[in-house]
């Protein structure tokens, strides 16, 4: 792997991503806008207590949702589009490797996620006057673990499908139950028993769980061990399966 090739591909990736203003708006501006809208609509800034409750409960949920959107509506469809247009095959005529292509995609999506996360924190400070109380490692480590798993799922989505619209539609279908059953969209303590059992099978449930533990400054505790191991195992399995499918398609 050569740093110069990776840097050149990353710059190209970032330029192409931010050139599509509608996609960037959907991934970043729309979730942040909803966060501000619901905060204002429900009077989160009316009192100090309501501001603290909204900020503590929903900021990390929206941050997790941004990661979910990036994985299923950006990573997967973008990879399928590159395959469909023959861009990947043209890339592999050059000295670029599959590892460099994957690293470039990971770094690009991490940059988008970091921008979205920072936008939420800035909006929370501007609207509610709050900033995270957790330390940087408590926020960073669960975010990276979550990103590894969700981006691996996005890669797998991109490897399986051959048409961009099919990948996008599949991403939209997958997002709905994950948002509803993970606790990011609805409070998990209101779920019936069957929904709780179903939610435990969803990787995004564990993403929301460890992101919240980090948000509450409790990630480095026994409560985070099981969901972290589940996410790492899921991410590794998806990445290996996606790599195998990619190699078969390109050979």
Backbone angle region of 86, left / alpha / beta, with phi > 0 → left and psi within -120 to 50 → alpha? left
Burial level of 221, CB count in 10 A (0-12/13-18/19+)? exposed
Helices (H), 161-190: 164-181
Render each residue's pLDDT in the chain as its tens digit; 251 residues.
Answer: 566 666 766 777 677 667 767 767 777 788 888 888 888 877 777 788 888 888 888 899 999 999 999 999 888 888 888 777 776 666 656 666 667 777 878 888 888 899 899 999 999 898 888 899 999 999 999 999 999 999 999 999 988 988 888 988 999 899 988 988 888 877 777 788 888 889 999 999 999 999 999 999 999 999 999 999 999 999 999 999 998 888 787 66
* Three-class DSSP category at 85: coil
């Amino acid at each position: 792997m050569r740093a110069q090739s990776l840097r050149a591909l990353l710059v190209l990736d970032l330029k192409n991503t931010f050139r599509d203003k509608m996609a960037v708006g959907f991934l970043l501006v729309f979730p942040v806008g909803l966060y501000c809208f619901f905060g204002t609509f429900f009077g989160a800034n009316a009192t100090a207590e309501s501001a603290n409750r909204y900020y503590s409960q929903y900021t990390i949920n929206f941050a997790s949702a941004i990661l979910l959107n990036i994985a299923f509506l950006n990573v997967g469809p973008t990879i399928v589009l590159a395959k469909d247009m023959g861009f990947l095959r043209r890339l592999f005529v050059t000295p670029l490797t599959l590892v460099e292509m994957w690293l470039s995609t990971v770094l690009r999506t991490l940059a988008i996620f970091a921008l979205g996360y920072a936008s939420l924190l800035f909006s929370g400070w501007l609207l509610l006057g709050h900033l995270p109380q957790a330390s940087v490692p408590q926020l960073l480590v669960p975010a990276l673990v979550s990103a590894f798993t969700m981006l691996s799922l996005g890669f797998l989505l991109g490897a399986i499908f051959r048409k961009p619209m099919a990948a996008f539609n599949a991403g939209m279908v997958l997002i709905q139950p994950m948002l509803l059953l993970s606790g990011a969209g609805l409070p998990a303590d209101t779920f019936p028993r069957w929904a709780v059992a179903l939610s435990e099978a969803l990787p995004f449930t564990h993403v929301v769980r460890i992101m919240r533990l980090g948000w509450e400054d409790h990630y480095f505790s026994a409560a985070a061990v099981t969901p972290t191991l589940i996410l790492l195992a899921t991410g590794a399995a998806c990445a290996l399966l996606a790599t195998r499918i990619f190699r078969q398609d390109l050979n």
